[in-house]
Chain A
């Protein structure tokens, strides 16, 4: 056997490293796990949305497609029944008009949600603790389809009975 010191040191390091890896995997990866991310620099702003879809903490905040920060907190306001999304914006982007417009968009066809900011025309800028008033919720595909069907159904309202008759034999 080798000298006991190096043996114990090596084994200890290995076991510690292994458990640290397992701890990280089981704590940091799952949604339910606790996060140990350190605070990053920048300032924080809030926005209320009717529906955030599947927006997640860590999702990017962009303006004109350029990444400016990330979503760092999502909570539910019990009084207004809206989702309050906290965002951290990098401190270099300190000239965003405070009447800017925030919308939740989808990356690509199947991608995740992100927040897109469109600039307003105000002379005063967003600062730490600011609140964005104009927001647009995430587009939920089911609602869109429902609207689509509703518009189909309402247009030929007089011939509705005929169309249902036509569809019957197909089934």
Chain B
């Protein structure tokens, strides 16, 4: 795709979006028959989800603990440190959970998807499949795409849960916020809407990040340098689009 660069920044950008949209349509069409092979999808859920579990949980714990520290420090100035639970829960559910999970997902699972498919492209495995009348979109791209979409909301939910307990660890155990107030104020302020907002966000991010990862890998230049470039582009594009979409979705939900 490096030939696009001399077409001007704007037109190449628009072309990329168009190519991505066409690829998304192709993927969606191929996703239906791909469902007939659930084992392939299960493997990709394992690859993208279960293997990202450790980093997601660690990140969730640290983010939650930081929220606990910062939230406590800020709220105690107003004598309302009991609102720490509310602050942590809303921050995690609405923003931090989906966004940080998506960023970590792009770095942990997206890169591996891109380089895997890119290497298949570089070593002509995809062409070989086409010659054998096996559609690589259906057997390589679609299961990875679907696996990513399934894994993202689950990862985000785990992130939120671990983060909440991280905030509780700092707030209640270290800083001495009352445990009952922490949870009861949180439960009083959080609505089901906040939870669904987070789930919808993480679903959208899951589609975006998986699409970008699979697309970049599938259309990577079939050289070692090309695969490397595609991997970099995956991280950059996923991160930027995740944050942009987060802004749009937040504005839509408020």
Q: Which residues of A contact B (CB under 8 A)?
A: 1, 7-8, 10-11, 13-15, 17-19, 21-22, 24-26, 28-33, 54, 56-60, 67, 70-71, 107-112, 114
* Residues 184-202 of chain B, each 1 if its beta carbon lies under 8 Å from chain A, else 0: 1111101110111011000
What residue of chain B has the Cβ atom nearest to residue A35's Cβ? B187
Main secondary structure of the interface of B (DSSP, over half): helix
B45 beta carbon closer than 8 Å to chain A: yes
Could you say which residues of chain B place their CB within 8 Å of the CB of A25? 93, 157, 160-161, 195, 198
Given A18-B155, A21-B161, A107-B79, A58 contacting B183 (CB threshold 8 A): yes
Q: Which residues of B contact A (CB under 8 A)?
A: 42-43, 45-46, 49-51, 53, 78-83, 89, 93, 150-151, 153-155, 157-158, 160-161, 178, 180-181, 183-188, 190-192, 194-196, 198-199
Q: How many A-B residue pairs have CB under 8 A?
A: 134
Main secondary structure of the interface of A (DSSP, over half): mixed
- Contact (Cβ within 8 A) B43 A18: no
From residue B161, how far is it (CB to closest CB) to chain A in Å? 4
14 contacts between A and B (CB under 8 A): A18-B153, A29-B187, A29-B190, A30-B190, A32-B191, A60-B181, A71-B184, A108-B80, A108-B82, A110-B78, A110-B83, A111-B79, A111-B80, A111-B82
Closest 5 A/B residue pairs (Cβ): A18-B154, A108-B79, A58-B184, A14-B50, A21-B157
- Contact (Cβ within 8 A) B195 A30: yes
Bound form: Cα–Cα A24–B79 in Å: 29
Could you say which residues of chain A place their CB within 8 Å of the CB of B180? 58-60, 67, 70-71
- Contact (Cβ within 8 A) B154 A21: yes
Name the one of B53, B79, B153, B186 contacting A109, with C-beta atoms under 8 angstroms. Answer: B79
- Contact (Cβ within 8 A) B82 A11: no
Could you say which residues of chain B place their CB within 8 Å of the CB of A11? 42-43, 45-46, 49-50
- Contact (Cβ within 8 A) B46 A22: no
Could you say which residues of chain B place their CB within 8 Å of the CB of A33? 187, 192
- Contact (Cβ within 8 A) A58 B187: yes
Given A11-B42, A110-B78, A21 contacting B158 (CB threshold 8 A): yes
Could you say which residues of chain B place their CB within 8 Å of the CB of A7? 42-43, 46
- Contact (Cβ within 8 A) B46 A29: no
